[in-house]
Amino acid sequence: MVLNKVLKLFCLVKKKDTKKKASAPHPTVNVTNNSILDPVSTGTGTVQLVQKHVPECSSVISSMTMREYGSESDGYNLFNQFDVVQDFSDHYYASHSPGKTSKDWAKAIQNEWKLLQKDLPESIYVRVYEDRIDLLRAAIVGPAGTPYHDGLFFFDVRFPSEYPQCPPKVHYHSGGLRLNPNLYESGKVCLSLLNTWWGTGCEKWGKSKSTTLQVLVSIQGLVLNDKPYFNEPGNKNSANTAPGEKNSLAYNQTAFILSCRTMLYSLRNPPKHFECLVARHFHERERVILDACSAYISGTVVGSSSGDGTKYPRNNRTFADFKKSLEKYTELLRKDLATNHTRFLKVTRDSIASDEIAAVSSAADEIAVSACG
């Protein structure tokens, strides 16, 4: 309902046809070309969309949006993967006016909303804004088997007036840290699909075939990969060599430390509309994160399972510094994760209250509609 109301403001939603139309299913999004990165990735390059689940927390708007586009799980404390919200005041591009736009621009954004609501993988969450449809915010969970595992990474997106002829603008919430060659301290995201790095053909943005969903999945699967050291242009040729692999291990150590610092930053400064997600995510992953830190301190290679026996070589000079630094940030994480327990309980209570209000509002709407009928 809310989503349709927003789109009606832009003259996009027509009256429903009395004849039922068959809708074409969206294909699974697979990212198979590593060269859309800055400049490459040594990972598999394929990102499989997995079955959705619905974590905790919800809002009134969310409930209405889900009724419009599909069902949601019963129960309290739902955090929908896609939702329409209002307050955009802390968005990086809040002060950027969308400028002169067209119906085609708004129609393209409507299509993006529908695709995101339908096909988001379970580890990516999106919020769009009722009063600024040119803005979007996404949270991406760091993939397992990488130095970014269990982290939360936030991105602000803007659709310029030239969209979809040109790609969206994307800003990474770095917290002043550069934990990946593609993600700068300034917030710049280096990706061929965004036209911020070289590329040819399908590696570049195409107005009729490229989507924001592809951008988000590419960041998760190709940027936040298991060997980000080789994303750097000058390091590509050293892949699968002894010196290159040694440097890659050292880079992953640094990347994990910075990922831990990013966790601390997110716990202390959760972006608007993602407070529930931050509290819920780190409540659920607390034990896993601290166990991983302990394993890495004991010598387990970053990104590998603590039980697979993969250890750093003896006399590894970089490990001593890494261990000392990780011990420091593990203690900080332990304290902040403990504080998060209280925050999580409060968020849960608030979400229950919100769901109860939504239920009452929904019942009132249905009674009103019945009365009018």
Q: What is the mean pLDDT of the chain?
A: 79
The mean pLDDT of 304-330, rounded to a whole number, is 77
DSSP SS3 for 364: helix
Q: Is residue 353 part of a domain?
A: yes
Q: Tokens standing for 284?
A: 């659920």
Q: Which residue would you say has higher pLDDT here, 301 or 43?
A: 301
Count of domains forming the chain: 1
Q: Which of 106, 66, 67 is nearest to 83 (CA)?
A: 66
State pTM to two decimals.
0.76
> Which residues have a catalytic role annotated?
190
Q: Is residue 58 part of a domain?
A: no
pLDDT of 94 above 90 = yes
Q: Is residue 27 part of a domain?
A: no
| H-helix or E-strand spanning residue 116 | helix 103-119
Q: Tokens standing for 340?
A: 């998060």
What pLDDT is attached to residue 103? Answer: 92
Which residue pairs, CB below 8 angstroms and at least 24 apart, start in 314-323? Answer: 318/249, 318/250, 318/253, 319/253, 322/253, 322/254, 322/257, 322/296, 323/297
Distance, in Å, from the CA atom of 71 to the CA atom of 56, rounded to the nearest integer, reads 15
Q: Is residue 283 part of a domain?
A: yes
pLDDT of 207 above 70 = yes
Q: Which of 55, 51, 50, 60 is nearest to 73 (CA)?
A: 55
Distance, in Å, from the CA atom of 98 to the CA atom of 106, rounded to the nearest integer, reads 11
Distance, in Å, from the CA atom of 32 to the CA atom of 193, rounded to the nearest integer, reads 13
Q: What percent of the chain has pLDDT over 70?
A: 69
Q: Which residue is associated with the tokens 């970014």?
A: 148
Q: Is residue 18 part of a domain?
A: no
Q: Is residue 281 part of a domain?
A: yes
pLDDT of 321 above 80 = yes
Check which CATH number belongs to the domain holding 130 and give it: 3.10.110.10
Contacts of 163 (CB under 8 A, 6+ apart): 105, 108, 109
| Tally of CA atoms within 13 A in the half-sphere of 85 that contains its CB | 23
**By CB neighbour count within 10 A (0-12 exposed, 13-18 middle, 19+ buried), where does 184 fall?**
middle
Give the domain range for residue 248. 82-372
Q: Tokens standing for 126?
A: 């999106």
Distance, in Å, from the CA atom of 175 to the CA atom of 83, rounded to the nearest integer, reads 25
pLDDT in tens, 126-171: 999 999 999 999 999 999 999 999 999 999 999 999 999 999 999 9
Q: Is residue 117 part of a domain?
A: yes
Report cis status (omega within 30 of 0) of the bond before 164. yes
Q: Is residue 36 part of a domain?
A: no
pLDDT of 12 above 70 = no
Sheet holding 169-172, edge to edge: 82-85, 124-129, 135-141, 152-158, 169-172
Phi-psi category of residue 161: left, alpha or beta, with phi > 0 → left and psi -120 to 50 → alpha: alpha
| H-helix or E-strand spanning residue 136 | strand 135-141
| Tally of CA atoms within 13 A in the half-sphere of 41 that contains its CB | 27
Distance, in Å, from the CA atom of 184 to the CA atom of 286, rounded to the nearest integer, reads 27
The mean pLDDT of 297-321, rounded to a whole number, is 74
The mean pLDDT of 270-295, rounded to a whole number, is 95
What pLDDT is attached to residue 343? Answer: 84
Please tell me which of 7-11, 51-55, 298-302, 351-355 the model is most confident about, judged by mean pLDDT: 298-302
Q: Which of 33, 14, 163 is nearest to 102 (CA)?
A: 163
Q: Which residue would you say has higher pLDDT here, 124 or 316?
A: 124
Distance, in Å, from the CA atom of 134 to the CA atom of 116, rounded to the nearest integer, reads 15
